[in-house]
Amino acid sequence: MKPTLHFLAICLLGASTAGAVEVRFAGYALDTPEWIDAVDPKNPASSAASGMKVAGWTMFGGENPQAEFAEPSRRRENLPGFVAEVAAGDQTQVAQMGNYAVIQSAGGPSGTWLSGALSRMNTTVPVDLVTIKLGPAVPKIWRIGVLVDNLDNLGYTPTQLALVVGGVEGDPIMTTGGAGSANSKPDWYFWDVAGAKDNSEITLRVSPGGGVAAIGGLVFLAGEESHQIGEFSREGEYVKDNYIFKEGDTFHLFYNVGAAGEKQDWQDKGNEKAFGHATSKDLKTWQHHPRILDVVPGTWEGEVVSAPSIIKRDGTYYMFYTGFDDRVNGRQSIGLATSKDLFNWERNPGNPVYEAPPWTKRNPSGWLDCRDAHVIEHGGEYLLYTMVTSAEDKGGIALASSKDLMHWQDLGPALITFTTPESPRVFEHDGTFYMFATSAHGKTLVKTKDPKSNKWEEVPFRWPAPGLWSGWEVVQDGSRTIFSAFEWKPNGNHIRFWDVAWEGDKPVVKY
């Protein structure tokens, strides 16, 4: 079903200001109860954006509506980065209404549908049903849509809707006898908001008809503003696991490199036989340099070199990387190379410096997971994280410690999680340590106060969509945090870089 859209070229139906904040009623869309996907540009209802795109949404209801609305992770995951919280009013209820509105539950099992409404029963006075608290990086202009059900015969029609900003109520709009008309299907009503700042609040006030106030959901729309600050790709190449090291004002990118193609398989001839190297001042414009650390046939690193990670100590750069043995298919271990200038590298003669610990799975074929090393300095020692598979056939991140970066003591698993949790990347922000792990089998961002422990907890994080984004990396540029990941695409992967905003201890990226 295609919605009937009505948008005003000049918004004359109501405007209010609260300080520098301006709210204008922008139009309405009739007979369109479904809003399928917050980030899917193919969403047919996105035409209602009128120059904007869907940035996020939330719907009300579910099997246990009261509990699910109170549990923030169920309501938070689909909201845009600039919305910190959506909270029901003190006396607001959540009503299950089977035919009110339906939407597939993001991240839930296939076929999971939510339906329902925020409501206040037996009232004829204006009520505040829901309040939206804004987080960081609020767009200059954005749009909010409110789903309203015009079921006149059941008495569920809100007569008037208004947005309250900073305690100032804007001019209300009529949902019947005005912009829209009474019917048996839900409608969307849209407002444009300009000049709103971080931590400000916007409340939806409903003057009910028939003694019942009810709304079914919110959708947020914004322009093309993004935290994206750069991209890396090179014609004819693909890029996979990579690492950025900033020295002075220059970013050094080292990456797995192969020939762009349909499969881009590491086992294809010529792929991932050395590391690509490029530099940039701004993560947008890149200068390419000769490849480094070619494979050494007939050794532990004879087939592939992969997944570089760099740490600086006493003026020397230490690069840890994965080698694939060309004599035993799939056997992996970790080697070390050093440099004084990030351009010329020498292998450690004692390579490999780290191999899979004894608690990991040994395959009869000889395949042995031990790859994607990452090293941090903490508490006067160094900690090494690598992707492994446990003897119980579970994906894990192994943890080891060292005083000299060459001799490592096994500390057991830091994390047991989904199959092949590749590219573990640990970083610190305001005293909390975070770890990314991603692959085609899953993705996670976890945190802890002690990176030497095995006590990590999940961090709510909005991942980019669509597509498979992997190899998550972090660049600390002074007080600025930058995330990056590569997207698996035929005929040439690319890396993107995004600035990170923080909501307390939660990172937020606006893609």
Q: Using a pLDDT cut of 70, give the percent of the chain over it.
A: 78
State residue 17's pLDDT score: 40
State residue 203's pLDDT score: 93
> Which of 445, 348, 351, 357 lies closest to 399 in space, CA to CA?
357
Count of CB atoms situated within 10 Å of the CB of 323: 26
Record the tokens describing residue 83, joined without a space.
């919305």
Say how far apart CA 123 and CA 131 lie, in whole Å.
19
Q: What is the pLDDT of residues 252-284, one digit of tens each?
A: 999 999 999 988 999 999 999 999 999 999 998
Give 473's pLDDT tier (boundaries 50, 70, 90).
very high
CATH number belonging to domain 4-222: 2.60.120
Give 289's pLDDT tier (boundaries 50, 70, 90).
very high
Q: What is the mean pLDDT of residues 16-37?
A: 64
> Which of 339, 345, 343 lies closest to 313 in space, CA to CA?
339
Record the tokens describing residue 135, joined without a space.
């987080």
As a whole number, the mean pLDDT across the chain is: 82
State residue 74's pLDDT score: 39
Rg of the chain taking only CA atoms, in angstroms: 27
Q: What DSSP element (H or E) covers 494?
A: strand 494-499
164, pLDDT greater than 60 = yes
State residue 253's pLDDT score: 98
Please list the residues that pair with 4 across neighbouring strands.
30
375, pLDDT greater than 90 = yes
Place of tokens 């309405």: 28
- C-alpha distances (whole Å) from 399 to each of 289, 395, 396, 425 are 33, 13, 10, 12
Fold of 228-233+294-508: Tachylectin-2; Chain A (2.115.10)
Residue 299 per-residue DSSP state:
S
37, pLDDT greater than 50 = no
Give 154's pLDDT tier (boundaries 50, 70, 90).
low
Say how far apart CA 427 and CA 435 lie, in whole Å.
7
254: Cβ contacts below 8 Å, ≥ 6 apart: 242, 243, 245, 275, 276, 277, 292, 308, 310, 319
Which of 98-112, 235-249, 480-494 has the weakest average pLDDT?
Answer: 98-112
Q: What is the mean pLDDT of residues 403-412?
A: 97
- C-alpha distances (whole Å) from 401 to each of 336, 351, 361, 427, 453 are 15, 17, 21, 16, 11
Given a contact cutoff of 8 angstroms between Cβ atoms, the answer to whether 55 and 220 are in contact is yes
Which of 46-50, 165-169, 194-198, 468-472 has the weakest average pLDDT?
Answer: 46-50
Give 43's pLDDT tier (boundaries 50, 70, 90).
very low
Domain ranges of the chain: 4-222, 228-233+294-508
Give 344's pLDDT tier (boundaries 50, 70, 90).
very high
Which of 30-39, 132-141, 287-296, 386-395 has the weakest average pLDDT?
Answer: 30-39
